[in-house]
Structure 1
Amino acid sequence: MKKLLTLFLAVYSLLSFSQDRKEIGNTFIKALLIDKNIEKAHSYFDSSVAGQIPVEQLKAVTEQLQGQIGGLKNILEVNNEGNIYYYYTEFEKTKLDVQLTFSEGNKLLGFFLVPHKTFEKPDEKTTLKIKSDAIELKGTLLLPPSNNKKKLVIFVHGSGAHDRDETIGENKPFKDIAEYLLNNGIASYRYDKRTYTYPESFNEKSTVEEETINDAVNAANYFKNNADFKGYQIIILGHSQGAYLMPEIAKKAQASKYIFMAGNARPLQDLLVEQYEYLHTLDPTKVPAEAVEEIKKQVAFLNSSQFNLSSPAQELSLGQPAAYWQYLKNYNQLNEVKKIKDPMFFAQGGRDYQVTEKDFNLWKETLKNNKTAVFKWYPLLSHLFIAGSGKPSPKDYETKGKVDKQFLKDLTQFILQ
């Protein structure tokens, strides 16, 4: 899910003010989203942030949110990690976390709307932090208490700021998969995505290397170089963007097997146009013709000779910086996947409108002479590998479900063979 508002600066670790901050956050949210007292809400920003988003702009953002997610109904719970507070909030159309980052002086440095982050009681046996570049991945390690097959699967997320479970609405596909694997003697490690835990680390010079590739490679290297996991076979599972980037991850991680769940074989920008056109046919009021034309215009510019590293992000798709898109324009996943000599498993759902059969067939055609590549097609599964019926739409993600059992069986068979 795209961030609806991004305001962030350097943050500081604090262990105090928890009660005050919780109340300040509640008051800010009430002023902004219930009372519509924009001036009062604006007064809670730190001076370094207040200048970047004037009152009128904050008002416009609030009105946009109202149209997209409806009015605020209730704050369900409040959790925090240091100076970052998560207000799990029910809106008319969805449930999201209002994520607030506080300064040392209890002023707001950051305000995001993000997928809900589940806070569970820490378990020393499952919680594992791994250093990756200048950050620390926060993740969950599941180890079979018995019948350990000495296989360890590392999960790599799709696009967006995802937690370790890849939570989307009420669904947690990575958690479903990890727990099924655990019950079949297979270990796993899943971590909160860098852009979820450290959004301030992503800037105009960042690419998918910082967003996805480096963390997957560093996680794999951690287990490969850890004596406690000697003899384990390291397997990397990528979903959506994670599968799209798997050939580059494989080049650097050198794991034993690779799993591609709904990975796009075509350029990302081309898929964006297709997705917008599809969503427009579903509901022109939510994705009007003007939005489709705008994304087409952005993609045409991106694919033209006019695009360069100085191109402003506001002219580019998804609002991502030029460096981000330049990397992807130079990346050819179909050329790179042919270099992988280890076993690969490709899975695709027939009800997936984000990544489609076109992509599945491109992977299949590219690897038609690779005897170790396995391809599985699931007609009833969505992009989250959850079964459904009817015309695929974003509403599928709002319906609570579990990752399909047949897919899980096929996945487990591939891992164990």
Structure 2
Amino acid sequence: MKKILSLVLFFTALFSFAQNRKEIGDQFIKLLFIDNNTEKAYTFFDPEMAKHVTPEVFKTLPEQLEGQFGNFKNVIEVNNESDAYYYYSEFEKEKLDILINFTDSNKIIGFFLVPHKNFDKPDDKTALRIKSDSIELKGTLLEPEENNQKKLVILVHGSGASDRDETIGENKPFRDIAEYLLKNGISSYRYDKRTNSNPEAFNEKSTVEQETINDAVNVSNYFKNNEKFKDYQIIILGHSLGAYLMPKIAEKANASKYVFMAGNARPLQDVLLRQFEYLHSIDPSNVSEKDLQDMKKKVDFLNSKKFNLNTPKEELPMVLSAAYWKYLVDYKPLESVKLIKVPMFFAQGGMDYQVIAKDYVLWKEQLKNNKLAEFKFYQPLGHLFIKISGTPSPKNYEIKGNVDGGFLKDLVQFILK
């Protein structure tokens, strides 16, 4: 996932001038991306913002963004929460939200490019919010109107601030899966990950329990305790990080079946280092030797006895907190998975450079005597279970595709079995 571009992290909490603010944001975006008039666009900034961004730096912004995302095309829709306005925008390479924050005098105090955030429409009958700890998860519940198989699949995201569709570029793998399940009489619930919808709920003390595990368990409990779904089988599907953490989810969720899509069995830090090594090998201009050595140094430190809960996050991979990494250092997925006593389905793509066949083999070897565990390897598929050609790379995510039909058929067969 591309890094969020932020010019200043300063937020206010004001509720007025809604219509004016929308129009101001429209004008600002037009000046910046269409007219290329950065000088006039700069006048929209609050003095506090201007302290952090000089006119000279701001002048180079359109060219930088064009290099990363391609040319700006148009604004698709505008949503807002309090003083935050989300201009869902299409660029050549992907669709993103242009997030603009305003002061009470309608000056811009925050400007970001962030992954798209879903806003439920008032007339959307599939929208469902589920309380999880201190927040409400916003999600989409799809239920078949006929041929209802009384099965419900909960979809659990991979790394990053994913929305409910697990949108990456033009691709929406979770939407593909949910809609295919619906055609086969299977219900599903997919939700915006809390780091997408409520980033304030994730802090320096948070671990993958707060990021992923607890929400998956709370959603499962919601449906198990709901009278409407009392006769349903609950199946939990995890992708990437969600699959890696599935043994921990299973400890608390007590679901009927579990699906592991491209889940790493090795420690996350080792997987990250291998990714850096691979990306450096195919494009040193994207991941430099310095980047690689920096990651290696951080992973070596994390794997050493020197690492402790007081270690500054700047010394750790991906600048994640010591608390976050301590949980994962102690986590042993290959041991935990042996405790699952219900059917499991492990799926892996052969063109996946993020989670590789080695992880798939480790799961398979660990569960070789477990007759409830099924394994399927799909040679042409990448990390999103979309067919790719050529050398696997981040560029694959910029190409629109759909989750492979062969995998989807096997998934349905496993669920209905």
Q: TM-score, normalised by structure 2?
A: 0.90
Deviates more, 1:311-320 or 1:61-70: 61-70
CA–CA distance in structure 2, aligned partners of residues 385 and 122 of structure 1: 33
Letter in 1 for 2:207: T
Q: Say whether the 8 Å CA contact 1:116–1:169 is kept in structure 2.
A: no
Match of 2:137, SS state, is strand
1:357-398 CA distances to partner (integer Å, 9 max, x unpaired)?
000000001111111000000000110001121111112111
CA–CA distance in structure 2, aligned partners of residues 152 and 93 of structure 1: 34
CA–CA distance in structure 1, aligned partners of residues 416 and 76 of structure 2: 40
Residue ranges of structure 1 left out of the alignment (5+ in a row): none
What is aligned with 1:167? 167
1:109–1:203 CA distance, 2 compared to 1 (3 A): farther
Q: Say whether the 8 Å CA contact 1:72–1:89 is kept in structure 2.
A: no
CA–CA distance in structure 2, aligned partners of residues 41 and 206 of structure 1: 39
Aligned length: 412
Q: 2:42 aligns with which of 40, 43, 58?
A: 40
Deviates more, 1:141-150 or 1:103-112: 103-112
Q: Say whether the 8 Å CA contact 2:246–2:260 is kept in structure 1.
A: yes
CA–CA distance in structure 2, aligned partners of residues 219 and 322 of structure 1: 27
- Deviation of residue 178 (structure 1)? 0.5
- Deviation of residue 103 (structure 1)? 5.7
Match of 1:140, SS state, is strand
Residue ranges of structure 2 left out of the alignment (5+ in a row): none
Match of 1:79, SS state, is strand
1:221–1:106 CA distance, 2 compared to 1 (3 A): farther
1:335–1:58 CA distance, 2 compared to 1 (3 A): farther
1:261-300 CA distances to partner (integer Å, 9 max, x unpaired)?
0001111111111111111122111222111111111211
Q: Say whether the 8 Å CA contact 1:173–1:402 is kept in structure 2.
A: yes
CA–CA distance in structure 2, aligned partners of residues 323 and 58 of structure 1: 39
Q: Say whether the 8 Å CA contact 2:94–2:170 is kept in structure 1.
A: no
What is aligned with 1:73? 72
Letter in 2 for 1:210: Q
What is aligned with 1:382? 382
Q: 1:55 aligns with which of 53, 58, 65?
A: 53
What is aligned with 1:363? 363
Q: Say whether the 8 Å CA contact 2:120–2:127 is kept in structure 1.
A: no
Match of 2:77, SS state, is strand
CA–CA distance in structure 1, aligned partners of residues 339 and 145 of structure 2: 36
- Deviation of residue 18 (structure 1)? 2.8
CA–CA distance in structure 2, aligned partners of residues 31 and 244 of structure 1: 45
- Deviation of residue 11 (structure 1)? 6.5
CA–CA distance in structure 1, aligned partners of residues 112 and 307 of structure 2: 29
Percent identity for Structure 1 against Structure 2: 61
Match of 1:276, SS state, is helix
1:290–1:263 CA distance, 2 compared to 1 (3 A): same
Q: Say whether the 8 Å CA contact 2:101–2:108 is kept in structure 1.
A: yes
Spell out the pairing of 1:7-406 with structure 2 (5 A cutoff): 12=13, 14=15, 16-29=16-29, 34-37=36-39, 40=42, 43-44=45-46, 50=49, 54-55=52-53, 59=57, 62=61, 65-66=64-65, 69=68, 73-83=72-82, 84-91=84-91, 93-102=93-102, 106=106, 111-117=111-117, 121-406=121-406
Deviates more, 1:302-311 or 1:102-111: 102-111
Q: TM-score, normalised by structure 1?
A: 0.90
Q: Say whether the 8 Å CA contact 2:165–2:172 is kept in structure 1.
A: yes
CA–CA distance in structure 1, aligned partners of residues 193 and 12 of structure 2: 18
Letter in 2 for 1:40: Y
1:73-117 CA distances to partner (integer Å, 9 max, x unpaired)?
334223214233222334465432222344666555654432334
- Deviation of residue 35 (structure 1)? 4.3
